[in-house]
Amino acid sequence: MRPTLFCALFLALGAITSAVAPLTREELLDQLEELGWWDIPRDDLPLPALMLRDSQEHQNRQKTQGKAEAEICYEDLNLGCFSTIEGPLQYLGLLPKSPEWIGTKFRLYNALQENDTYAEFDFYNMSTALENDFFLGSDRTVFFITHGFNGSPDQSYYANYASDLRRLYPESNIFVMDWEKGAASINYPQDIANGALVGRQGALLISRLVMDYGFNASQDLHMIGHSLGGQIMNYVSNWLLELTGQLPARITATDPADPLFYDQGQLAWSHLDPDDAHFVEVIHTDCGPLITLAVGVPMEIGHLDFYPNGGVMQPGCISWLEEVINMILGIPSNSTSCNHGRSNVLLYDSDPENDCQFTTFPCDGIENFEQVLTSPDITVNCGGNCGQIGYDSKGSGRHCLLTFSPDEGLCAYLTLKIPPYSLEEKTLKPRAKEMHVLQFLAEGGAPSRGTNEL
């Protein structure tokens, strides 16, 4: 290893482990550049690292070249106009690719389809598809789900969602939006712009249900989005309100993406916030300190914000920064989408029909949560505001919980093992296995196997 590379590596590792004057995000990015950050092929980078490197490159380009002024309209498709001069993409300075290029499709799961099969139709044929009785009726709950950056509806997350929801809500309709080409990892900022158009396409589908079938989105629509897909729900909501005057009943965002959404004074219509639905819940699993360069949103942006294991480091995962350093050194390690993707696992593993129900408790932030980790006894005072992760989650404000890693049995959680709202205070005396996990979390976790999916 070259001496300069060794020194840069030493500085980067020191920035993570030192409690005194840690490097800022910008300073650490500079150190990563010294490490050979830009020399790693795109295909070899962990996806969270790719999101951050693309964001940095885009911001640097805007500083040197400025923002291009442009506008494009799709009024004939009822998708309106997109502009870099004004509107939600003004700060980004990019326009979406065309609807034809993105090729958005929808998968529909309901009782008319056998087992886990689905009906599939593209954006241009959705009216015909709905007329063919794919939609069961105006009194049915509708779930609308989308993947994120570099995602696909073929990822196991979305098959699990569809399977669980069909079982738990047999008379519901479950739409999974497929915009895989528009979300491909060609360029993360461009994918954000594509997401603005895709969000309007999703809103147009829902508006057809409202106008043609009497569907009440404000009462019966539950939208679920992961990472960049969580942010896209903002675009769906805003365009649905424009078309129908209705807001979605509920949005669940699983670790919504942070890069390029909250750091440039963006207006509310450019990112997810509590005004996007009557109830917005967020599961934060990859929102560590700036020094970790995590890609999830750290602040509360919903009516209910869950922070499993403090929202920073999930059991069985390592940080993507460790992954990048391992790549530079040629050391194999697990995928760092692990923290980011854990939010999906927690949602679909929380099953009201078995013992896996993630009961949560109010927390005052990561500092308070760390106090819980180091307490000999865990005393939880919910004050009547215990919460629960799930498709019908409960609670309000900021909530925390402890979990094990999937290898140890994810649902062996260390929280209140009682129905929510039934007890004001409970002192838990950790068993041997739970004490092991407390120590594991307090020490920052250890490498284990993860998932490649975002």
Tell me which residues are annotated as active site. Answer: 227, 255, 340
Q: How far apart are alpha carbons 253 and 184 in whole angstroms?
A: 20
- Hey, how many other C-beta atoms are within 10 angstroms of the C-beta on 350? 23
Angle between helices 320-329 and 3-17 (to 10 degrees): 160
Give the bridge partners for 120, in sequence order.
107
Write the DSSP symbol of residue 443.
T
Q: How far is CA 84 from the centre of its chain?
A: 25
Return the sign of the alpha-carbon dihedral for residues 454, 130, 193, 90. negative
42: Cβ contacts below 8 Å, ≥ 6 apart: 50, 185
For strand 173-178 and strand 142-146, is the pairing parallel, antiparallel, or unpaired?
parallel
* Strand 397-401 to 119-122 pairing: unpaired
Within 263-377, strands assigned E span 279-283, 304-308, 359-362
CA 254 to chain centre: 4
Q: Are 150 and 77 in contact (CB under 8 A)?
A: no
C-beta contacts of 264-267 below 8 A and 24+ residues apart: 264/91, 265/91, 266/91, 267/88, 267/91
How many Å apart are CA 286 and CA 448, to the nearest integer? 16
Residue 411 neighbours by CB distance under 10 Å: 17
Q: What are the E-state strand segments in 227-334?
A: 250-254, 279-283, 304-308
Where b means 16+ CB within 10 Å and e means fewer, 412-422 reads bbbbbeeebee
**Residues in a beta bridge with 106:** 121, 177
